[in-house]
Amino acid sequence: MLTPGERSDLVKAKARELGFLACGVARAEFLTEEAPRLERWLREARHGEMGYMGNHFDLRLDPRKLVDGAKSVISLAYNYHTPPLQQDSEAPKISTYAYGRDYHKVVKQRLKPLVAFINERFGDVALRTFVDSAPVLEKAWAQRSGVGWVGKHTNIIRQGAGSFFFLCEIILDLELEPDAPVTDHCGTCRRCIDACPTEAITPYGVDGSKCISYFTIELKSAIPEDMAGRFKDWVFGCDICQQVCPWNRFSTPHSEPQFAPKPELMGMSRDEWHGMTEVVFERLFEGSAVKRTKYEGLKRNLRFLRKS
């Protein structure tokens, strides 16, 4: 009979073998500290028009409501770091996480062999996997499981690796030995706070309703006029707070073929972006996270940049 510690070691070794950047374990329990913070964030309308953030409040805070009898939460990180490759420095910019194939599909695919390993090695295990697609507070679990700490920009930072990685979770009814939470290493640094052009970041908090990523992806109505000139050419997402973070000097390029950007996309000029037709949009962003904005959403964002 394997001990919880031995089971954890086996899972982590397999995760490394499968190419995950990090893997940690936390005990499946109610997120006591996060509950009042989430309630306050919602009450202050920091989620803007993202009404879904107010749904399933209890599920977000207790993994045992997502998997009956859950004992452990496995948190994993999957590297997506790609140094910016857009050739025209004046072209509208998209977040590097959206350069290639939609990460939801890629990471979900990469989790499958780990799930198969767990079932083969430990028997009949009840579990569910999550890739930013369900009411799971993934950053809280990443910190609790030792994957990294929540930085002042609220992204997870890992010593020696930075923050350019996706998070995913496996909630399961198997007892695993939990890891110790990671301590904060932001210190007195406030580069992310000072660099944010829309002043969305406060220490360890983000007003989602002011974030460039929110405006260019989540917001369905018109972008507020008072934001004109503040987007720094970002047309889908924003990487500014990560680009200025000193810890990202340790980031290394990913090795995931499906995250490789199309040369045509990287070579597009400023004028080609603004003249993009729907046919070109469908071809360039087939299978991409950029499809979330739809063609009309991207054109709205491009028109807004023209006002700058």
Torsions phi, psi of 258, nearest 5? -75, -10
Cα–Cα distances (Å) from 233 to 62, 102, 124, in that order, read 39, 22, 50
User: Which residue in this structure is represented by tokens 């072209």?
Assistant: 91
Cα–Cα distances (Å) from 67 to 81, 130, 210, in that order, read 32, 12, 34
Measured torsion, CA atoms of residues 148, 163, 238, 40, in degrees rounded to the nearest 10:
10
* Catalytic site positions: 132
User: Which residue in this structure is represented by tokens 């071809």?
Assistant: 283
User: Which residue in this structure is represented by tokens 């790609």?
Assistant: 82
Please name the residues in contact with 151: beta carbons below 8 A apart, sequence gap of 6 or more.
157, 163, 186, 192, 204, 245, 247
For residue 164, give the nearest of 49, 59, 67, 249 by alpha carbon: 249
**Tokens read off for 12:** 């982590």
Residues written for the chain: 308
H/E segment holding residue 169: strand 165-172
Please name the residues in contact with 266: beta carbons below 8 A apart, sequence gap of 6 or more.
85, 86, 87, 99
User: Which residue in this structure is represented by tokens 């070579």?
Assistant: 267
